[in-house]
Amino acid sequence: MAGKDNILYDNHGRVMNYLRLAVTDRCNLRCFYCMPEEGIKYVPKNDLLSYEEMERLIRLLATMGIRKVRITGGEPFVRKGMIDFLERITVIEGIEQVHITTNGTMTANLIPRLQKMGIKSINLSLDSLNPDRFFEITRRNVFYKVRETLDALIEAGMPTKINAVVMEGKNEQDILPMVELTKELPISVRFIEEMPFNGSGKDGSGIKWNYVEILSHIRSRYPDLEKIGDRPFSTSQNFRIPGWEGSVGVIPAFSRTFCGTCNRIRITPKGMLKTCLYDDGVFNVRDLLRNGASDEQLRAAFLDALSNRAKNGFEAERNRQFGMPVKESMSTIGG
Ligand code: SAM
Ligand code: SF4
């Protein structure tokens, strides 16, 4: 099955049509579940994939069946030249959708250009509606900027999802107010289980707020919460409260219930291909590019990587050779 007609299938028969590209590991926030307070050791600039290299990869992957690209990071908009890059990749033949995940601190006034170039949607990371709790979580006092971005996205009619990581003792008070945002706003609020990628090397003893707990908490206040259809390959289970404008989702990112339909590959800022969020990287695409690989050689390397893909995130985690996930910061993967 793997690699039929150069199309990216894995050894379990799953098609790969979605690329998550982390364009930088740098960030202007320090969300404690993602990065330690002192930050991480950033990749030297020359070791980051260049814009030209990323564009070549997207063009190549489009010929192998990739149709959707999500730009993530680090914070994508801290990298200079991002808008020009986005303008180039949104017109690549075969790429049907480009989406962005952002912390929203530098995004508000870019929205008209993002809309004009056809960015399909924005995922805005916002873990609290309370400025003090926002500060406690992100270690930066910029709640109002993110709120301004949310308001501007809605005003512009840009399809928007809020991503909120739910953490014991940090923001459980925000779950219901965030659900209540969907009463008037046509957005999707998705609650994500905390994953062990915090760059600190410290692992907790599992999580209290798994998707079952989050849903039961919402149901205790809103018993009429009803299930709605999930899109193909969706990682979120989606719900709504009858009559409300928006929807609510839960993403079992730690429980990993969605691996059976996983259609995504990841490329990190320094060019590591990950065929699972939980693996420690399969091969370095940047090194191949810089060693003069032809498109044919690159295609062969991708097909080979997919022919040996872990069945699920648990297997990928067991197969890791370079230490526990907690040593990695999510900003070096992209989420
Ligand atoms: N800086 C951008 C942002 O925050 O949206 C993009 C990169 S960030 C790494 C992508 C997503 O990963 C965010 O929604 C963030 O909340 C999520 N994330 C980061 N660390 C996480 C963790 N340990 N567990 C669950 N989600 C995490
Ligand atoms: Fe930065 Fe996003 Fe990580 Fe927060 S989650 S530290 S905004 S990369």
* pLDDT single digits (tens) 179-190: 999 999 999 999
Distances (CA, A) of 32 to 163, 220, 268: 15, 29, 20
Torsion from C-alpha of 42, 270, 50, 63, nearest 10 degrees: -150
Q: Residue 100, SS3?
A: strand
List residues near ligand 2 (CB under 6 A).
27, 29-31, 34-35, 73-75, 103, 125, 330-331
| Residue 296 pLDDT grade (very low, low, confident, very high; cuts 50, 70, 90) | very high
Q: Residue 241, SS3?
A: coil
Percentage of the chain exceeding pLDDT 90: 84
Q: Which residues are bridge partners to 18 per DSSP?
A: 68, 264
Residue 211's pLDDT is: 95
Q: What is the mean pLDDT of the chain?
A: 94
Out of 58-62, 129-133, 200-204, 262-266, pick the least confident: 200-204
Out of 31-40, 116-125, 200-209, pick the least confident: 200-209
> Tell me, what amino acid is at 290?
R
pLDDT at 334 over 50: yes
Cα 149 to Cα 291: distance, rounded to the nearest angstrom? 41
Cα 253 to Cα 266: distance, rounded to the nearest angstrom? 15
Residue 2's pLDDT is: 47
Cα 335 to Cα 329: distance, rounded to the nearest angstrom? 9
Residue 205's pLDDT is: 60
pLDDT at 319 over 70: yes
| pLDDT (tens digit per residue) in 93-123 | 999 999 999 999 999 999 999 999 999 999 9
**How many Å lie between the centroid of ligand 1 and the Cα of residue 4?**
33
Cα 275 to Cα 11: distance, rounded to the nearest angstrom? 12
Max CA distance (Å), the chain: 59
pLDDT at 322 over 90: no
Residue 204's pLDDT is: 63
DSSP conformation class of 324: -
Residue 162's pLDDT is: 98
Ligand 2 atom, smallest distance to 27 CA: 1
Q: At what angle do helices 175-184 and 211-221 cross, to 10 degrees?
A: 60
Ligand 2 atom, smallest distance to 74 CA: 8
Encoding tokens for residue 75?
Answer: 């914070």
Return the number of other C-beta atoms located less than 10 Å from residue 254's C-beta. 18
Nearest ligand for residue 123 CA: 1
**How many Å lie between the centroid of ligand 1 and the Cα of residue 330?**
6
What is the average pLDDT across 316-332? 84
Nearest ligand for residue 23 CA: 1
Ligand 1 atom, smallest distance to 333 CA: 9
Torsion from C-alpha of 198, 203, 206, 209, nearest 10 degrees: -30
Cα 20 to Cα 40: distance, rounded to the nearest angstrom? 21
Cα 98 to Cα 89: distance, rounded to the nearest angstrom? 8
Spell out the domain ranges in the chain.
4-333
150 or 258, greater pLDDT: 150
| Residue 1 pLDDT grade (very low, low, confident, very high; cuts 50, 70, 90) | very low
DSSP 118-186: T--EEEEE---SSHHHHHHHHSSS-HHHHHHHHHHHHHHT--EEEEEEE-TTTTGGGHHHHHHHHHHS-
**How many Å lie between the centroid of ligand 1 and the Cα of residue 5?**
35
| Residue 323 pLDDT grade (very low, low, confident, very high; cuts 50, 70, 90) | confident
Residue 10's pLDDT is: 95
| pLDDT (tens digit per residue) in 66-91 | 999 999 999 999 999 999 999 999 99
Cα 327 to Cα 199: distance, rounded to the nearest angstrom? 5
Question: Contacts from 39-44 at CB under 8 Å and sequence distance 24+?
Answer: 40/199, 40/329, 40/331, 40/332, 43/269, 43/270, 43/332
pLDDT at 206 over 90: no
| Residue 200 pLDDT grade (very low, low, confident, very high; cuts 50, 70, 90) | confident
What is the average pLDDT across 34-43? 92
201 or 291, greater pLDDT: 291
Residue-wise burial string across 305-327, b where 16 or more C-beta atoms lie within 10 A, e elsewhere = bbeebbebbeebbeebeeeebbb
Out of 107-121, 171-185, 191-205, pick the least confident: 191-205
Ligand 2 atom, smallest distance to 73 CA: 8
Residue showing tokens 């810089």: 290
Q: Which residues are bridge partners to 267 per DSSP?
A: 21, 273
Q: What class has domain 4-333?
A: alpha beta
**What's the pTM?**
0.96
pLDDT at 191 over 70: yes
